[in-house]
Structure 1
Amino acid sequence: MSWAFLYLAVAAALYGSIASLAKPQLTTIHPILLSSSIYLIIGIVLTILIKLTSRSTKINKSELKYIFIISLFGAVLGPILYFYGLMLTSASLAAILINIEFIFSILLAIIILKERLNKRGVLGILLIFTGLIIVNLNYNDFNIFNNNTLLGNILVVIASLFWAVDNNLSNIILKKGVSISKIIQLKSLIGGTISFCICLIFAIPLGGNINQVPFLIMLSLGGFAGSLYLFLRGMKKIGTIKSVMIFSTSTIFGIIFALIFLKESSKDVYTLLLSSIFVIGEIYFISKEEK
């Protein structure tokens, strides 16, 4: 069971890097084109790997229906709205707001999947929210009513809801026996293609800079594909609620990355450390609950 927590911790770090990697790219790449590029890169690379390893699996019509819905919510609407929102707000603030995805995911898991928590699990939730409150205290940029920032934050929140739906539907498909790599492959190809068609329909410029290619690859295979793969592996073992609770540590990683690479935050290191202690405590209680 310890491997599941390691998967989710690494996934959180990779996911936390998304805002810092994507923010600079949005100055020259349209949000819809960026979304399309990311998911097409993932889909093409996974298709090649699956062909080389001969691990392709067949899926039925019912599973394909779920995957199409996941693609629409998680690889089209979610990322497009997130990137539009990221253009209007800071990467560090987006990293904080994206935590609403975890709240939505937990609520949907309780309502749809009928998952439940015992007292340790509830204590874990309280600890992580305490940590997130601490990390938001005295945050200089946390002004959700500042000009266009409000619209950007709303878009990030809506994107979080779409990704929460994606998380729970993905868990349903995993329980049906569909492989993680197949889910990500089809989701990425379908989502990337739909976004690319939107670019063509609305005559969105298909431009960019050759120097952005390494960042797009890191964003695609690390921030999105890598984090999603490890998240799904962890979720398959310990369920949606516990997985999203651990995965929510991505906020701390996101703020740290924004501080180091984008110089956005003046967040005190000791505040981050104190918040991290609460988050580590949350992981401990969840792991004890599993035993």
Structure 2
Amino acid sequence: MSVVSKFQPTYENLRKSKINKISLFSKLKSKTVGVGFLFAILAAAFSALPNVIPKSFLDAHAVDTSTIPNPLMLVFVIYVVNSLLFSPFRKSQREHEVKKTSRMTLFLLILLGAVEASGTLTYTFGLQETSATNASILVNSETVFAILLGIMIFREKLSKQEVLPFFLIVAGSILIPVGADIQNNEWELSDFMMGDLLIVMSGFFYCLDTFIAKKLDDSIKTRHIVHIMSCTGAIMTLGLMLFFEIPFDISFEELSVMSFVGFLGIGVTMMFFVIALRLIGAVRTVLIYSSTTIFSIVYSILILSEGLTILNIVSTSSVLIGLFVLRNRVGSD
């Protein structure tokens, strides 16, 4: 018996073992990508809830305006619930994390919470005056402000291929919906248009969120960020309520629904978004997350029975095409 024939079965077994490992790795990678896509879609679906559900309470008692809950109260409930629900997860390493967190990091976390709360407040006040469908489209102004700040502060430049998608986002998220409202109100400033402007302002605050979050240390856990952000938002809204003497008047139904919406729409959304980032990368995650607008419009139609106009479709299509082309371009670079 030759040496080659003697070790032939062993060689064949090794070759088959390697093939099986490659096949198993390929299957695991495929499943990982699939799970990543699922988390990104769930993040988009959950993040659309705070864009729509509060509107049902702000309009529910239109006949008796005294029973309409103040937007500050709704936002306060959201942040209190998130701060309570995410707090227990930190107990095991609380002392270690407190010692490890620098003053600058703590400052950034508190600043992140204040800016996030400002965005949620301006959005909720704007939602009280405008339609949920309009608000879902206008909030995409966040991308416009992010690009403008990148150009002005970080001296970044748009390439020729990025100008058209940027203009599509500007037109779809700001020019078309706001311009249509101005024309419908015969060029007079109305409450509806004021609501639109507040939604656009919330996009600016959400844009600042992104820039602040990028400065945070990657070692900080997502639930730690959510907890401090929520505590800051709760303290901020509580201070505003006391300053403006807003009563703590909210029904059990509103409290329970807003608690559920806040937990899913802010806390769980951020957790799922970060998980998707780690599994499928930033470009894929952000592209899928852009479907939040579509989920918001669907919820507006199903829950609030709002109508969908041609301009709404044009605006949404313009924003989504612009985001897809622009982020694909960034991903290829």
Q: TM-score, normalised by structure 2?
A: 0.69
Q: Secondary structure at the match of 2:87?
A: helix
* 1:7 lines up with 2:43 in the alignment: no
What does residue 203 of structure 1 align with?
Answer: 245
Q: Which of 96, 100, 121 is 2:137 aligned to?
A: 96
Counterpart check, 1:23 vs 2:47: no
1:86: Cα distance to partner?
Answer: 0.8
Q: Which amino acid aligns with 1:162?
A: F
Gaps of 5+ in 2: 1-31, 60-67
The letter of the residue matching 2:88 is I
Q: CA deviation at 1:89?
A: 0.6
Change (3 A) 1:150 1:36: same
**Correspondence for 1:173:** 216
Structure index of larger Rg: 2
Residues in 1 aligned to 2:112 and 2:252: alpha-carbon distance in whole angstroms: 31
Contact conserved, 1:35 with 1:80, CA < 8 A, in 2?
Answer: yes
Is the Cα contact below 8 Å between 1:131 and 1:279 reproduced in 2? no
- 1:154-177 Cα offsets, whole Å, 9 max, x none, are 1111111011101221122144x2
Change (3 A) 1:262 1:123: same
CA contact (8 A) 2:151 2:157 kept: yes
Report the Cα offset of residue 72 of structure 1: 1.3
CA 1:125–1:242: 2 relative to 1, 3 Å: farther
Check whether the contact 1:102–1:248 (CA below 8 A) recurs between aligned residues. no
The 1:142/1:179 distance shift into structure 2, 3 A limit, reads farther
3-state SS in 1 of match to 2:246: coil
How far apart are residue 108 of structure 1 and its match?
3.8
Other-structure match for 1:80: 121
In structure 2, what is the Cα distance between the partners aligned to 1:142 and 1:19? 25
Conservation of the 8 A alpha-carbon contact between 1:43 and 1:188: yes
Report the identity percentage: 24
The 3 A distance-change label for structure 1 pair 102 and 288 is closer
TM-fit CA distance, 1:126: 8.1
Q: For 1:171 and 1:13, how far apart are their aligned partners in 2?
A: 24
Mapped contact 1:38–1:219 kept (Cα < 8 A): yes
Q: How far apart are the structure 2 equivalents of 1:6 and 1:123?
A: 30
1:8 counterpart letter in structure 2 = A
Residue ranges of structure 1 left out of the alignment (5+ in a row): none
CA 1:266–1:251: 2 relative to 1, 3 Å:
same
Q: 3-state SS of the aligned residue for 2:207? A: helix
Instruction: Say yes or no: does 1:62 pair with 2:94.
Output: no
Q: Distance in 2 between matches of 1:184 and 1:56?
A: 18
The separation in 1 between residues aligned to 2:162 and 2:287, in whole angstroms, is 9
The equivalent of 1:149 in structure 2 is 192
Greater relative contact order (CA < 8 Å, ≥ 6 in sequence): 1
Q: 1:230 to 1:280 in 2, by over 3 A?
A: farther
The 4+ residue runs of structure 1 with deviation greater than 6 A are 52-56, 113-133, 139-142
Q: Which stretch has the larger CA shift, 179-188 or 12-21?
A: 12-21
